[in-house]
Amino acid sequence: MLGILLFLALSNVVSPQDTNKEKMMKDAADSWLVLVDAGDYGKAYDELAGTVKKEITREDFVQSTESLRKFLGKLQTRKLKSVEFVTNPPGPPEGEYSAVQYPASFENRTVIEAIAFRLEEGKWGVIGYFVQ
């Protein structure tokens, strides 16, 4: 639920002009998606923020992500839509958050993918993977 609230909060934020920060987040999201696209869900779990790992086990993450990706089918195309940032959104714990969104076409569906990040101990960690 926290992830959904965070995604909704981030989806209404205007992107900043800082292209270096945007590029850094896009690169982080792209790197994480390479793991998911390859079916390496265990390594993708390893890249999650520490707070998320306390909420979901590796086994549950692997199982749910694998199920989602099987439902979607093989990736056909993905293109960057936006990189957004927000500080202290309503709902989640205070902090710095970012979301990277992509329109993506899969074998079975066309969706918007979003990878949400939170800055924890000076490092951006993945806190959610959402498909709508």
Q: Residues in the chain with pLDDT < 50?
A: 1-16
Sign of CA pseudo-dihedral 26, 113, 92, 51? negative
Quote the pLDDT of residue 65. Answer: 97
And the tokens for 83? 């990189």
pLDDT digits (tens, 9 = 90+) for 4-38: 444 444 444 444 456 799 999 999 999 999 999 99
Let me know: does 101 contact 82? Beta carbons within 8 Å: yes
CATH numeric code, 2-131: 3.10.450.100
Q: Can you tell me the distance from the alpha carbon of 1 to that of 4, in angstroms, rounded to the nearest whole number?
A: 5
Q: State the pLDDT at residue 92.
A: 87
Neighbours of 42 (CB within 10 A): 13
Q: Where do the domains of the chain lie?
A: 2-131
The residues facing 116 across adjacent strands are: 99, 128
